[in-house]
């Protein structure tokens, strides 16, 4: 593992772009009124970026009422006008990609190269869903003779959608929810985490710059209290949430109390299954990056379990350890850095605690990393990319989501055993299959209890394709026409003359 010291200028430029207010409501910036005080710390340096008063339940009520009014203005526009405004919003995101990406990097530590790519991907989501805005269709079922009447369906928006997103990729996370919600004719109250609020707030200003109605997208960062107030608000008609399982259960319970539909994208413990016919060095290198370095392991769909067919097990382990040792850990604004810090000090200590507990229990054998970075990176929240081998498939290390740069490697002997191990968790978000055998690839992909399967590639989240979890990884999908339908309700009209 190579460490890289901080590059001051890009981070300082990003800090200068921090919004001065804590909420964006009805087209204007506002400070929170009576919410909790939050001190935001740059995870790369440990230095305070500032103190903000977060929104409160009163701000939530204001944001929802403003969105409800704006939604009426939005749905009154011609569909082609809504399409053009969403295309302009996509253009605004592209034009301001540098600023958005730098805010993501500053607020939660994602390497700038990755945050820039994610921001451009977010713009593509808005462009894609803009194309749906004027193509929402109903049907005419053949239930009546044409001479006696007509039966038809309409797809209608819900109204105000509560979109609750995590800190680990805020711009792409908001795009997955806001783009289809707006294309379907809804308004959105967006609640980013207080750990990653700044890019979402800046996005709010781009919505205004694109000419969408004031209040159509309101941004209210905050903690669980703000999320609870939003989920309980009587004028919120649908909730879309990405986050951890415990918070997802709270959202589900709040929604169930009002019979409000939800789209939930929750945690994961995804597995990469590597068969012995692969290019070992290449596949092992990709597995090492996906399982540890990518976003410092802070991704629900990342394959943090690596299942390896026994004939190539030792070779894969050796290659993974070698690849992890070459990961450049350091200042996320440095173009040469592949892995930045984790989001904050609490996350850093939690991940290190998971590693210590796994060592003490004997869940597996630690062969790389496992410690906090020191030296020039000591002040930041850096955890070394960590690898355990010979991991017990039933152990907490193989069953529980770490949400950090910790990879668990497990051997298997047969295709059936690999599938059994991969499916042997409460999660079902993603699966990865590595093989040159096309028949095997299809068999295993079909057998995996996961809403998303990638074969011989990194994870891809194109806006054209649906993505969503099974089991405790959630319900509903984001992406494609299926993702649009989540934000529409069906009305049947039966006319007889």
Round to whole Å and give the CA distance between 380 and 342. 9
300 is catalytic: yes
The catalytic position among 116, 177, 191, 269 is: 177
The catalytic position among 116, 124, 194, 300 is: 300
Are the C-beta atoms of 113 and 335 separated by less than 8 Å? yes
The catalytic position among 309, 401, 472, 478 is: 478
Provide CB contacts within 8 A for 58, sequence distance 6+: 33, 34
Round to whole Å and give the CA distance between 62 and 422. 46
Q: Given the DSSP bridges, would you call strands 48-53 and 37-41 parallel, antiparallel or unpaired?
A: antiparallel
| Cα-only R_g, the chain | 23
135 is catalytic: no
Provide CB contacts within 8 A for 175, sequence distance 6+: 121, 122, 123, 125, 126
The catalytic position among 265, 309, 401, 472 is: 265
177 is catalytic: yes
116 is catalytic: no
Q: What's the DSSP call for residue 22?
A: S
- By C-alpha distance, which of 21, 27, 349, 346 is closest to 195? 346
Round to whole Å and give the CA distance between 271 and 395. 15
Strand-pair partners of 417: none
- Count Cα atoms within 13 angstroms, Cβ side, for 383: 32
- By C-alpha distance, which of 186, 160, 164 is closest to 174? 164
Give the residue numbers annotated as catalytic, written as ranges. 177, 265, 300, 478
């Amino acid at each position: 593992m190579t460490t890289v010291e901080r590059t001051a200028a890009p981070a300082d430029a990003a800090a200068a772009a921090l919004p001065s207010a804590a909420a964006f409501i009805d087209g204007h910036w506002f400070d929170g009124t009576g919410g909790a005080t939050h001190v935001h710390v740059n995870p790369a340096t440990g230095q305070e970026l500032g103190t903000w008063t977060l929104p409160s339940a009163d701000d939530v009520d204001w944001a929802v009422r403003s969105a409800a009014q704006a939604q009426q203005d939005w749905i009154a526009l011609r569909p082609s006008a809504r399409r053009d405004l969403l295309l302009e919003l996509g253009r605004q995101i592209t034009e301001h990609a540098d600023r958005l990406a730098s805010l993501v990097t500053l607020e939660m530590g994602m390497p700038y190269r990755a945050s820039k790519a994610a921001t451009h991907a977010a713009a593509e989501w808005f462009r894609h869903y803009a194309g749906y805005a004027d193509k929402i269709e109903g049907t005419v079922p053949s239930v009546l003779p044409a001479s006696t009447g007509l039966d038809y369906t309409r797809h209608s928006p819900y109204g105000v959608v509560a979109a609750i997103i995590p800190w680990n990729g805020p711009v792409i996370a908001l795009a997955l929810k806001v783009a289809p919600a707006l294309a379907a004719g809804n308004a959105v109250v967006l609640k980013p985490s207080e750990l990653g609020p700044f890019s979402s707030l800046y996005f709010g200003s781009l919505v205004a710059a694109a000419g969408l109605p004031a209040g159509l997208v309101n941004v209210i960062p905050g903690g669980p209290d703000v999320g609870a107030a939003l989920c309980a608000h009587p004028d919120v008609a649908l909730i879309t949430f990405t986050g951890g399982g415990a918070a997802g259960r709270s959202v589900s319970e709040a929604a169930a109390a009002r019979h409000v539909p939800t789209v939930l994208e929750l945690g994961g413990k995804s597995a990469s299954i590597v068969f012995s016919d692969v290019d070992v060095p290449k596949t092992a290198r990709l597995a090492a990056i996906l399982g540890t370095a990518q976003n410092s392991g802070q991704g629900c769909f990342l394959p943090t379990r690596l299942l390896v067919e026994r004939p190539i097990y030792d070779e894969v382990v050796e290659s993974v350890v070698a690849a992890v040792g070459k990961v450049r850990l350091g200042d996320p604004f440095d173009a040469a850095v592949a892995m930045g810090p984790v989001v904050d000090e609490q996350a850093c200590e939690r991940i290190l605690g998971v590693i210590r507990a796994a060592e003490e229990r004997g869940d597996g054998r630690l062969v790389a990393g496992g410690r906090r970075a020191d030296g020039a990176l000591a002040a930041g929240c850096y955890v070394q990319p960590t690898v355990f081998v010979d991991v017990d498939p039933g152990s907490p290390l193989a069953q529980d989501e770490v949400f950090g740069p910790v990879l668990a490697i497990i051997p298997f002997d047969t295709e059936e055993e690999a599938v059994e191990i991969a499916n042997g968790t409460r999660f079902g978000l993603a699966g990865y299959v590595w093989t040159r055998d096309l028949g095997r690839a299809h068999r295993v992909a079909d057998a995996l209890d996961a809403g998303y399967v990638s074969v011989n590639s990194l994870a891809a989240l194109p806006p054209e394709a649906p993505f969503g979890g099974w089991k405790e990884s959630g319900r509903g999908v984001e992406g494609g026409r299926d993702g649009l339908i989540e934000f529409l309700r069906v009305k049947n009209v039966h006319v007889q003359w």
